[in-house]
Amino acid sequence: MPIAEDPEPRPSEGRNPDGADPSGAGGKDPFDELVLDDEFVKGATVKEQAARTRMLAAQWKHTPPVDPGGRRSVNDGPGRAKRFGRKPKPAAADPWGNPVPRRRLEWRTPLYVLLTITVLLAALNLDSLKFWYSTHFGYASDHPAAASAVPTVAPETARPTAAPPTLDPQQPTVDHPWAGSPAEGWPSSVDAFAPAQAPGPIGVFDAEQVAAQVKLVKDYLAAANLDPKVVAGGTPDAALAMLDREEQDNARAALTKPSSESDPTAWFSRFDPRDAIPVSDTVKMQGLITVEGDGDKGVLVHTDFTYVYALRPGPEAGKRAASPKPATPRPSAPQPPAGDGGGPKPAGWTVPAADVAGDTWTTRTIVRRVDTFRFYDPARYRVNPKKLVFSKTQSDAGNSACDINDGYYHPQFDQFATRPPGSTAEPTGPATDPYDRTKDLADNQDCGRISRN
């Protein structure tokens, strides 16, 4: 575009020192008669550039503009060579020489199609999907889905009026032993339980003595039913030491020579390590403690607890399922002398089972114990007020062989469910819910079946 030159300089209007007028215009301004109207502007043959155009032109004389990385021009030359010696393909260009960008493959489309098909298949077969998830991932207590499905259950403060709700059936595994059990949200320590009402002075005992008696009962329940060594088949030394002399003698005799009339499982929760091994030290429990006077200036502490044990198969679980009687008799151990604080030691035939994979099927045994402990007036009876005496005891075990009385519980695993025809170990009685705590335990209990595990 042509650039307009500056106009001729104006005359000096006779301002020379000698007063002469060099322009010869006689002091008249040559632009006085110029009219800048639309006709003059449209008829101009030379136009002046904009200020920004002149500024950029002056700047680019010294600093040429830099390509910001947009579309390349055919005059830019070849692009940067790719790695590994591969020659770049020539870029396609339009008729004006501008490169045409290649169309990239859209990877999101096939992904969306695959996700849509997966969701549709899952919706059509929801039950199978839930079973697959429970067997592979389960619903353990530390799992987010389990936290919403099985909330934490507080200790009982009164006898419940309904059984726990039934959950979706799930196969428990080593990684998730509480899957499908209402006990998953139950407490796992007897310390979580306290009497329904804070005990005050009862009979000849003041409030502090009654509180000490309740603590002694709770310590015994933990030593007899929650101690990992005892549950794994060990001798309940700590629990035996808390019993009164007569009660301790009876328990030691049962441990030494168990029978159907005197089975140690009436006192202690123990499993034969050849059959069943605890998955962990955790035992779920639910129950109630109440305290009252015995009418003879003494104290009665009532306990009603349900214990749930998670177990994996022992090294001989399959053989025991086919032949419910023990393969070898349990060797008896002599009763230790009084005062040594010990009892029969674990049998020497025990062979520890190797660790198993986390998806190995497990099972649960549910034991309910209803015990009443009596604390006599020491002024009227020759008793040790710091030892326990049973006033009444009852127990019932769900998922344990009925015709083996060797001092251990023997649960049945689903993977070893086959039993010989006519075996009395097969439960044949009515089906009962082992988690239902609304009813009292029957005095004469048959070998029945459980409705859920």
Whether the per-residue pLDDT at 25 is higher than 60: the answer is: no
CB 433 within 8 A of CB 449: no
CA distance 310 to 280: 8
Closest CA to 413 of 326, 327, 315: 315
**What percent of the chain clears pLDDT 70, i.e. is strictly above it?**
67
CB 371 within 8 A of CB 338: no
Q: In the numeric block, which tokens belong to residue 354?
A: 């190797």
Task: Tell me the one-letter amino acid at 75.
Answer: N
Position 37 scores a pLDDT of: 77
- Among 18, 43, 61, the domain-final residue is 61
Predicted confidence (pLDDT) per residue in 228-266, tens digit: 999 999 999 999 999 999 999 999 999 999 998 899 999
CB 91 within 8 A of CB 99: yes
51 with 136, same domain: the answer is no
Average pLDDT over residues 279-303: 94
Predicted confidence (pLDDT) per residue in 395-442, tens digit: 999 999 888 889 999 999 888 765 544 444 455 567 889 999 999 988
Query: Confidence band (pLDDT; 50, 70, 90) for 70?
Result: low
Q: List the alpha helices (DSSP H) in 271-424.
A: 317-322
Closest CA to 212 of 299, 303, 339: 299
Rounded mean pLDDT of the chain?
A: 77
- Is residue 83 included in any domain, yes or no? no
Pairing of strands 299-313, 276-278: antiparallel
Predicted confidence (pLDDT) per residue in 79-124, tens digit: 555 555 556 566 666 666 666 666 665 677 888 888 888 888 877 7
Whether the per-residue pLDDT at 350 is higher than 50: the answer is: no
3 state SS for 311-356: EEECCCHHHHHHCCCCCCCCCCCCCCCCCCCCCCCCCCCCCCCCCC
Predicted confidence (pLDDT) per residue in 129-187, tens digit: 555 555 455 444 444 444 445 678 899 989 999 999 988 888 899 999 999 999 999 99
Which of 4 and 27 is assigned the larger pLDDT? 27
CA distance 246 to 158: 32
Q: Give residue for tokens 């695959």.
A: 114
152 with 268, same domain: the answer is yes
Position 409 scores a pLDDT of: 95
Query: Confidence band (pLDDT; 50, 70, 90) for 125?
Result: low
51 with 145, same domain: the answer is no
CA distance 64 to 72: 17
- Is residue 95 included in any domain, yes or no? no
- Is residue 305 included in any domain, yes or no? yes
- Is residue 212 included in any domain, yes or no? yes
42 with 181, same domain: the answer is no
Angle, helices 108-124 vs 126-136, to 10°: value is 100
Whether the per-residue pLDDT at 339 is higher than 60: the answer is: no
Highest mean pLDDT among 59-73, 76-90, 434-448: 434-448
- Is residue 252 included in any domain, yes or no? yes
Strands of 336-421 (E only): list them. Answer: 363-375, 390-398
**Facing residues of 392 across strands?**
372
139 with 261, same domain: the answer is yes
Task: Tell me the one-letter amino acid at 166.
Answer: T
CB 367 within 8 A of CB 268: no
CA distance 227 to 221: 9
Query: Confidence band (pLDDT; 50, 70, 90) for 340?
Result: very low
Which stretch of DSSP H or E encloses residue 158?
none
- Among 61, 78, 107, the domain-final residue is 61
CB 368 within 8 A of CB 438: no
Which of 117 and 336 is assigned the larger pLDDT? 117
CA distance 275 to 410: 7
337 with 436, same domain: the answer is yes
Q: In the numeric block, which tokens belong to residue 22?
A: 């060099």
Structurally, how many domains does the chain consist of?
Answer: 2
CB 415 within 8 A of CB 311: no
Position 35 scores a pLDDT of: 75
Whether the per-residue pLDDT at 353 is higher than 70: the answer is: no
21 with 150, same domain: the answer is no
Which of 43 and 69 is assigned the larger pLDDT? 43
- Is residue 66 included in any domain, yes or no? no
CA distance 398 to 364: 9
Position 169 scores a pLDDT of: 80
- Is residue 251 included in any domain, yes or no? yes
∠ CA 145-147-150, rounded to 5°: 100
- Among 61, 76, 110, the domain-final residue is 61
Domain of residue 384, residue span: 129-450
- Is residue 114 included in any domain, yes or no? no
Q: In the numeric block, which tokens belong to residue 197?
A: 């009402």
CB 447 within 8 A of CB 428: yes
Position 45 scores a pLDDT of: 72
339 with 424, same domain: the answer is yes
